[in-house]
């Protein structure tokens, strides 16, 4: 691959979103999620388990600086999970993105105050993980596999960078650079260092992002080391376990490290395995590094892994991680809809990965997945009032089964207020608050538009100052108007994505037909652009019945209903119980209608389908000649967008419907 296709996504500071769909989500994040999470992190939600996040940092600060007194008794221990710091870091990151979009002096003051506490907890050598600061520094860096030390480091680093980029304030950034240098002094290939890598990946992409700011080679090298050391033999995790417990063997077969994507060198990995969030964070870091270093072998691994995930192990909603056991991938084409895990964080991780693959090369296959996750499997994780959240995102929900069938004991049919392990809500907050940085990417000679979100963005292809404005009612309508404002005419390539779901489209340049080429599902105009030029794209957006590859046994004979990027579902609230008895049949009288008052405004789809008639109570099996199609009656089916399910009365839901 030619690195001429590499681009950088246009950053948050340069993009203002004003979108009929997304603005409401971003406002929920800003006005509901971020304030609520701050209360949660401070243990001020009476009904929720304490988070201990802020308390841990205050305690660590008091222990580090005995003269400080935050009012936390010094003899209590670290609270919450070993990775509790990360919740705090994700909140900082989300709050920072939110400040870019909607400045808020009070929030910024809270952040500055918080950052002071964090920095006070930092050790003289830069170390900054409250679990070990509180429990004993002698044990630090001794259990990289399980104790999430480098995961928390990565999240703090991402938070610090986000806050620096949002405000220009360096205090937390500088602290994290010192921590990065501390990690670098302790872990790496050199003798005397720990030759390890993160048990839960994330630091990789955070370090690449840090390098983009510091240009300090050691930050890039550390990311490189984490990525390339992973999965080599003898296994670091096995050696670590031998050291800690005196059992295990460095000659372990590595089977147990699939969960950590550490069963073989990452460059040799072709199939997504193990814990889905871990996998996505690793692959995203690999893609960052591969693009930055134009590492063709690593790019090839990323491409293969992306293809495996998106073409063999991804739900139609963009959800991934089929198995509740280990919150993990299972195997190709195995996509159960009811027992699925599909963690919100995993879909977010897939969006991270897809965005980074799009930066390696603008290809529809990448941004299609990005779009799919955003409009479906990510936002399904949050209620429409921004107050409750899903960890698990089923494609078929059965209230009775969740109570009585152990296979679905992890599935909820109502979103929850908070979680003991609260990874998903702050992750949702940070991706939605930073949505502006997912729309366009550019390089010296080109700009590409990947997502159709109403917005105004500043770009500079070929050195010119360009403003790209998008107006659209996406995802409810397929018309997208794009306007270019630039001081002087300039020649550059402009590509806009033809969505994979779209079969017919028309593009007009300044209201007229014009020449373009289609490259990897991007319509590319290569011309001199003038101020006021505009492109209008009309993407036909009919109701579409989608089937899955027949290797997906769970979906054979079924259809999903989509319109544009939005996956639809049937809910009990609209269609009654026993959704399994409904069939699309000939799908007559299909109607599409935007309902402003329903579910914060959604486009509904209804049609006349079929329902299997009731059987006698005492019939469990009978010969088919007794029934056949005469056993079906007409039934109006009413589909709502999947992301909006269980925002009314909880009940059954299904994405896949019998044909």
Question: Of these, 8, 619, 633, 634, which contacts a copy of itself (CB under 8 A)?
Answer: 619
Please answer whether residues 582 and 637 qualify as being in contact, where contact means their C-beta atoms are separated by less than 8 angstroms.
yes
| Pick 385 or 405: Cβ nearer a copy of itself | 405
d(CA 317, CA 568): 9
Instruction: Name 621's Cβ contacts closer than 8 Å, sequence gap at least 6.
Output: none
- Tokens representing 93 are 């990151």
| Pick 206 or 316: Cβ nearer a copy of itself | 316
DSSP H or E stretch at residue 53: helix 53-64
Look at phi and psi of residue 46 and say left if phi exceeds 0, alpha if psi is from -120 to 50, else beta: alpha
Per CB under 8 A, 618 contacts a copy of itself: yes
Question: Of these, 124, 406, 630, 649, which contacts a copy of itself (CB under 8 A)?
Answer: 406
Shortest distance (Å) from residue 562 CB to a copy of itself: 8
Per CB under 8 A, 376 contacts a copy of itself: no
d(CA 542, CA 168): 46
* HEC secondary structure over 304-356: HHHHHHHHHCCCCCCCCCCECCCCECCCCCCCCCCCCCCEHHHHHHHHHHHHH
Shortest distance (Å) from residue 408 CB to a copy of itself: 10
Question: Which ranges constitute the DSSP H helices of 81-148?
Answer: 84-101, 105-121, 130-135
Shortest distance (Å) from residue 363 CB to a copy of itself: 12
Per CB under 8 A, 349 contacts a copy of itself: no
| Pick 398 or 466: Cβ nearer a copy of itself | 398
Instruction: Name 312's Cβ contacts closer than 8 Å, sequence gap at least 6.
Output: 332, 333
Per CB under 8 A, 331 contacts a copy of itself: yes
Per CB under 8 A, 621 contacts a copy of itself: yes
Please answer whether residues 451 and 475 qualify as being in contact, where contact means their C-beta atoms are separated by less than 8 angstroms.
no
DSSP H or E stretch at residue 475: none
Shortest distance (Å) from residue 606 CB to a copy of itself: 18
Question: Of these, 339, 358, 388, 437, which contacts a copy of itself (CB under 8 A)?
Answer: 339
| Pick 594 or 615: Cβ nearer a copy of itself | 615
Please answer whether residues 651 and 575 qualify as being in contact, where contact means their C-beta atoms are separated by less than 8 angstroms.
no
- Tokens representing 43 are 């243990």
Per CB under 8 A, 13 contacts a copy of itself: no
Question: Of these, 233, 503, 530, 593, which contacts a copy of itself (CB under 8 A)?
Answer: 503
Options 186-194, 289-297, 487-495, 618-626: segment touching a copy of itself (CB under 8 A): 618-626
| Pick 125 or 614: Cβ nearer a copy of itself | 614
Shortest distance (Å) from residue 316 CB to a copy of itself: 5
Shortest distance (Å) from residue 581 CB to a copy of itself: 4
| Pick 171 or 659: Cβ nearer a copy of itself | 659
Per CB under 8 A, 334 contacts a copy of itself: yes
Please answer whether residues 285 and 205 qualify as being in contact, where contact means their C-beta atoms are separated by less than 8 angstroms.
yes
d(CA 473, CA 343): 29
Question: Of these, 116, 217, 385, 405, which contacts a copy of itself (CB under 8 A)?
Answer: 405
Catalytic residue flag (residue 423)? yes
**What are the distances in angstroms from CA 250 to CA 158, 201, 243, 253?**
33, 21, 10, 9
Question: Of these, 124, 597, 623, 630, which contacts a copy of itself (CB under 8 A)?
Answer: 623
Question: Of these, 266, 360, 401, 411, which contacts a copy of itself (CB under 8 A)?
Answer: 401
d(CA 494, CA 533): 12
Shortest distance (Å) from residue 371 CB to a copy of itself: 14
Instruction: Name 558's Cβ contacts closer than 8 Å, sequence gap at least 6.
Output: 547, 548, 656, 657, 658, 659
Question: Of these, 7, 114, 310, 393, which contacts a copy of itself (CB under 8 A)?
Answer: 310
DSSP H or E stretch at residue 482: strand 479-486
Catalytic residue, candidates 53, 119, 402, 423: 423
Question: Of these, 294, 325, 385, 530, which contacts a copy of itself (CB under 8 A)?
Answer: 325
Q: What is the DSSP letter of 257?
A: G
Site size for a copy of itself, by CB under 8 A? 56
Residue with token string 């693959």: 357
* 251-290 footprint of a copy of itself as x/- string (CB under 8 A): ----------------------------------------
Please answer whether residues 203 and 157 qualify as being in contact, where contact means their C-beta atoms are separated by less than 8 angstroms.
yes
| Pick 325 or 594: Cβ nearer a copy of itself | 325
Burial class (CB in 10 A: 0-12, 13-18, 19+), 24: middle
| Pick 77 or 557: Cβ nearer a copy of itself | 557
Per CB under 8 A, 249 contacts a copy of itself: no
Burial class (CB in 10 A: 0-12, 13-18, 19+), 598: middle
Per CB under 8 A, 395 contacts a copy of itself: no
Which 535-594 residues touch a copy of itself, going by CB under 8 A?
544-553, 556-560, 578, 580-581, 583
Catalytic residue flag (residue 327)? yes
Other Cβ atoms closer than 10 A to 409: 13
Per CB under 8 A, 314 contacts a copy of itself: yes
Residue by residue, DSSP assigns 183-204 as HHHHBSSSTTSB----SS--HH
Enumerate the active-site residues: 327, 423
Residues in contact with a copy of itself by CB under 8 A are 307, 310-312, 314, 316, 323-326, 330-331, 334, 336, 339, 398, 400-401, 404-407, 503, 544-553, 556-560, 578, 580-581, 583, 612, 615, 617-625, 627, 658-659
């Amino acid at each position: 691959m030619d690195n001429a296709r590499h681009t950088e996504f246009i950053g948050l500071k340069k993009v203002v979103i004003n979108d009929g769909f997304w603005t409401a989500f971003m406002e929920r994040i800003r006005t509901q999620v971020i304030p609520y999470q701050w209360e949660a992190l401070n243990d001020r939600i009476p009904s929720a388990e304490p988070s201990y996040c802020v308390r841990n940092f205050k305690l660590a600060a008091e222990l580090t600086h005995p003269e400080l007194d935050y009012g936390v008794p010094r003899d209590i221990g670290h609270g919450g999970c070993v990775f509790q710091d990360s919740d705090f870091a994700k909140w900082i990151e989300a709050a920072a993105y939110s400040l870019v979009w909607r400045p808020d002096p009070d929030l910024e003051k809270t952040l500055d105050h918080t950052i002071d506490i964090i920095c006070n907890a930092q050790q003289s050598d830069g170390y900054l993980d409250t679990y070990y600061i509180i429990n004993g520094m002698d044990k630090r860096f001794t259990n990289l596999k399980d104790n999430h030390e480098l995961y928390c480091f990565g999240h703090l680093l991402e938070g610090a960078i986000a806050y620096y980029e949002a405000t220009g304030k360096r205090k937390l950034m500088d602290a994290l650079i010192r921590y990065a240098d501390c990690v670098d002094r302790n872990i790496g290939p050199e003798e005397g260092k720990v030759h390890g890598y993160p048990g839960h990946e994330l630091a990789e992409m955070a370090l690449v992002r840090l390098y983009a700011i510091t240009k300090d080679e050691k930050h890039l090298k550390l990311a490189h080391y984490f990525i390339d050391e992973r999965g080599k033999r003898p296994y670091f995790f096995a050696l670590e376990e031998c050291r800690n417990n005196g059992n295990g063997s460095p000659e372990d077969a590595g089977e147990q490290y699939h969960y950590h994507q550490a069963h073989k060198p990452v460059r040799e990995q072709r199939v997504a395995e193990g814990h889905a969030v871990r996998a996505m964070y690793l692959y995203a870091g690999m893609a960052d590094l591969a693009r930055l270093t134009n590492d063709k072998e690593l790019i090839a691994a990323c491409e293969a892994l992306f293809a495996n995930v998106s073409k063999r192990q991804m739900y139609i909603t963009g959800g991934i991680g089929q198995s509740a056991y280990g919150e993990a991938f299972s195997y190709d084409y195995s996509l159960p809809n009811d027992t699925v895990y599909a963690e919100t964080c995993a879909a977010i991780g897939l969006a991270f990965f897809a965005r980074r693959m799009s930066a390696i090369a603008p290809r529809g296959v990448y941004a299609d997945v990005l779009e799919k996750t955003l409009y479906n499997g990510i936002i399904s994780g949050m209620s429409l009032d921004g107050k409750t959240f899903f960890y698990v995102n089923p494609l078929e929900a059965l209230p009775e089964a969740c109570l009585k069938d152990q296979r679905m004991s992890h599935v909820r049919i109502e979103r929850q207020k908070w979680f003991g392990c609260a990874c998903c809500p702050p992750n949702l907050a940070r991706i939605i608050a930073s949505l502006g940085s997912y729309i366009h990417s550019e390089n010296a000679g080109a700009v590409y538009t990947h997502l159709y979100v109403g917005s105004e963005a500043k770009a500079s292809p070929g050195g010119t100052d360009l403003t790209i404005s998008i107006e659209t009612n996406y995802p409810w309508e397929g018309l997208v108007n794009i306007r270019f404002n630039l001081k002087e005419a300039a020649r550059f390539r402009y590509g806009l994505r033809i969505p994979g779901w779209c079969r017919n489209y028309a593009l007009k340049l300044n209201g007229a037909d014009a020449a373009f080429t289609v490259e990897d599902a991007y319509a590319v105009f290569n011309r001199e652009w003038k101020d006021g030029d505009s492109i209008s794209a009309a993407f036909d957006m009919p109701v579409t019945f989608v089937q899955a590859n027949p290797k997906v046994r769970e979906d054979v004979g079924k259809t999903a209903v989509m319109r544009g990027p939005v996956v639809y579902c049937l809910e009990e609230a609209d269609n009654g119980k026993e959704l399994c008895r409904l069939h699309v049949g000939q799908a007559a009288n299909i109607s599409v209608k935007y309902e402003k008052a329903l579910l914060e405004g959604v486009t509904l789809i209804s049609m006349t389908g079929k329902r299997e008639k009731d059987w006698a109570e005492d019939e469990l099996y009978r010969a088919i000649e007794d029934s056949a199609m005469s056993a079906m009656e007409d039934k109006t089916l009413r589909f709502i967008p999947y992301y909006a399910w269980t925002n009314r009365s909880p009940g059954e839901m299904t994405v896949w419907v019998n044909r």
